[in-house]
Structure 1
Amino acid sequence: MAEQHTPRSLIVTLYGAYGRTPDDAPLPVAELIRLLGALGVDAPSVRSSVSRLKRRGLLVPQRTADGAAGYALSAEARQLLDDGDRRIYARPSPQLSDGWVLAVFSVPEAERHKRHLLRSRLGRLGFGTAAPGVWIAPGRLHEETRHTLRRLQLDPYVDLFGGQHLGFEPTARAVTRWWDLESIAAQHREFLAAHEPVLRGWETRTAVPSEEAYRDYLLALDSWRRLPYADPGLPAELLPRDWPGERSADVFAQLHTRLRDAGLGFVQPPVTAG
């Protein structure tokens, strides 16, 4: 299945990669259109996607220093991106000794919409389903889970527990019930099919043109940033021998090292004297 890069997702990825500045300066609308245009997104799609992100409270309209219309990240959006950095760029070395965190929740029928929100959010954090109403994740995700549930004001409905698996079947077999490992592996293989050839192409080049670096990096980041949430990062001994996750993480890490800073030249082109 071909990768899908929606305009809205690409805008979030752009802000995550290049849009967080020490002074929280807004990106001019004209620059958003130029930068997304390099990825094949037309101006009307950029404008409508920005409007949706504004309605969701992720982008805030602001004037730039020279008075142009622009958009800055909201405080919530910046926090989300900062939290995401720990997942997207980290290379954890998970161990069985890390244990597990269990999330058990109970939501009154009158607030059942929050039940769906809880399930959705726990799934997006990388939790698997151990039993009805019982969700499980590697223990190292404990603090991020606490922070996320508190931010969404869902913590009153959830109890968190930490511990070891003491079940009657091997843990390696149990995790195949808790997570759909084949689906996660398929996502890694899809990433590799799209971006490993890109890396191999860059390995044969000496010059790194900034626009090409920007385009290839942003598309790779847009694809990759979902994977560390779909994949909980299980210890190697619990995974199939041909697990593709480590290889896809390595491909992204190499693309990041090779292309991210080179692409900055296209995002912030040098000012020429008039």
Structure 2
Amino acid sequence: MTSNSGQAADPDTERRRPRSLIVSFFGSYARDVGGWIGVADLIALMSGLDVDGPAVRSAVSRLKRRGLLTPERLGGAAGYRLSDEGRRILAEGDQRIFGHRVARVQDGWVLVVFSVPESERRRRHALRSQLTRLGFGTTAAGVWIAPAHLTDQARGALRDLGLEPYAELFHASHLDFRELTESVARWWDLPAFQAMYEGFLDEYEPVLERWRRMSGPLGAQERKQAFADHLRTVDTWRRLPYLDPGLPPELLPEPWAGSRAARVFFDLHTLLQPLGLSEVRSVIAFSKFR
């Protein structure tokens, strides 16, 4: 996402790729079953999402190279466990995805002001990318803004990139010379956010309604479907709270699709995650007797 003429980053660019689905799997399920998953079991589970064995193996190999997964054999079976870095990243993701904060105007804003020399343009680009990923908007060249609750994340991004000497952080309040709603609409691409949330609703409100209409005992086939629907939902949703910093509701256009989209996500997560976890455990248990 960029402000002014920029567009919100498209969450579809990564989601549904095998690598993205596997990251979502480790975040949604692997930690609940001991943190390790056999490759054969992961292939069996991903087959329900139209991801074949070679694609799974290629994806986990890439995640291993990125340092997120560690290969480990258990009981003679090849598998993967989250690395320390992987656990850290997922823990941070849990906070952003499931504890998505909504800002208050009275809490103010954090400003990141930086001037990175041309000799460090790679790190300058990396900083802009990271601030975008955190949900920052831009007020001017080298001046980025977000609700104050993102201060620690901004500080962490600067430290990780070693750019503290080139930047300053400020806690700010908006004073003059225009309405804050007008300024927010310049700093963030709110229509793109609306379209992003409406796309989520178009895809997942029918899924929620279908599951709500189900009655009676749910069998093995329903567990498989619940796992697939839940993992797709999480994989689609998990980027949206990063692009959207949780702006104060009174500064957003009405009706704001993000509020309804969040309700749909959390309702689906509450409804389907236990069924999906049951499916994961059944696949893992079955593999022990093959």
TM-score, structure 2 normalization: 0.88
Please tell me whether residue 142 in structure 1 is matched to residue 151 in structure 2.
Answer: yes
How much has 1:2 moved relative to structure 2? Answer: 11
* Paired residues for 1:60-71 under 5 Å: 60-64=70-74, 66-71=75-80
How much has 1:145 moved relative to structure 2? Answer: 2.5
Q: Is the 8 A contact 1:98 1:139 kept in 2?
A: yes
How much has 1:141 moved relative to structure 2? Answer: 1.2
Describe the shift of the 1:189–1:117 C-alpha distance in structure 2 as closer, same or farther (beyond 3 A).
Answer: same
| 1:221 alignment partner in structure 2 | 234
Instruction: Give the counterpart letter for 2:42 in structure 1.
Output: L
* Paired residues for 1:224-243 under 5 Å: 224-243=237-256
How much has 1:211 moved relative to structure 2? Answer: 1.1
Q: Is the 8 A contact 1:199 1:255 kept in 2?
A: yes
| 2:42 alignment partner in structure 1 | 32
Kindly provide the CA deviation profile for residues 113-170 of structure 1, in whole angstroms up to 9, marking residues without a partner as x. Answer: 0010000000000000111000000111112332344344444443211111123111
How far, CA to CA, are the matches of 2:280 and 2:165 in structure 1? 43
Question: Which residue, 62, 66, 83 being the options, matches 1:56?
Answer: 66
Question: Which residue, 197, 207, 217 being the options, matches 2:206?
Answer: 197
Out of 102-111 and 117-126, give the one that drifted further: 102-111
Aligned length: 272
Higher relative contact order (CA 8 A, sep 6+): 2
Question: Which residue, 16, 23, 40 being the options, matches 2:27?
Answer: 16
How far, CA to CA, are the matches of 1:246 and 1:198 in structure 2? 18
Q: Is the 8 A contact 2:127 2:161 kept in 1?
A: no
Instruction: Give the counterpart letter for 2:39 in structure 1.
Output: V
How far, CA to CA, are the matches of 1:51 and 1:156 in structure 2? 36
Please tell me whether residue 188 in structure 1 is matched to residue 197 in structure 2.
Answer: yes
How much has 1:69 moved relative to structure 2? Answer: 0.8
How far, CA to CA, are the matches of 2:118 and 2:247 in structure 1? 34
How far, CA to CA, are the matches of 2:93 and 2:176 in structure 1? 32
| 1:246 alignment partner in structure 2 | 259
Please tell me whether residue 118 in structure 1 is matched to residue 138 in structure 2.
Answer: no
SS of the counterpart of 1:71?
A: strand
How much has 1:214 moved relative to structure 2? Answer: 0.8
Describe the shift of the 1:98–1:221 C-alpha distance in structure 2 as closer, same or farther (beyond 3 A).
Answer: same
| 1:268 alignment partner in structure 2 | 281
Please tell me whether residue 176 in structure 1 is matched to residue 185 in structure 2.
Answer: yes
Describe the shift of the 1:43–1:58 C-alpha distance in structure 2 as closer, same or farther (beyond 3 A).
Answer: same
TM-score, structure 1 normalization: 0.93
Structure 2: runs of 5+ lacking an equivalent: 1-9
Q: Which has the higher helix share?
A: 2
Kindly provide the CA deviation profile for residues 156-198 of structure 1, in whole angstroms up to 9, marking residues without a partner as x. Answer: 4432111111231111000111011111111100100000100
Structure 1: runs of 5+ lacking an equivalent: none
How far, CA to CA, are the matches of 1:239 and 1:2 in structure 2? 21
| 2:17 alignment partner in structure 1 | 6
Q: Is the 8 A contact 1:26 1:63 kept in 2?
A: no
How far, CA to CA, are the matches of 2:280 and 2:182 in structure 1? 47
Question: Which residue, 225, 239, 261 being the options, matches 1:212?
Answer: 225
Describe the shift of the 1:152–1:85 C-alpha distance in structure 2 as closer, same or farther (beyond 3 A).
Answer: farther
**Percent identity over paired residues:** 51
Instruction: Give the counterpart letter for 2:257 in structure 1.
Output: P
SS of the counterpart of 2:31?
A: coil
How much has 1:71 moved relative to structure 2? Answer: 1.0
How far, CA to CA, are the matches of 1:271 and 1:27 in structure 2? 11
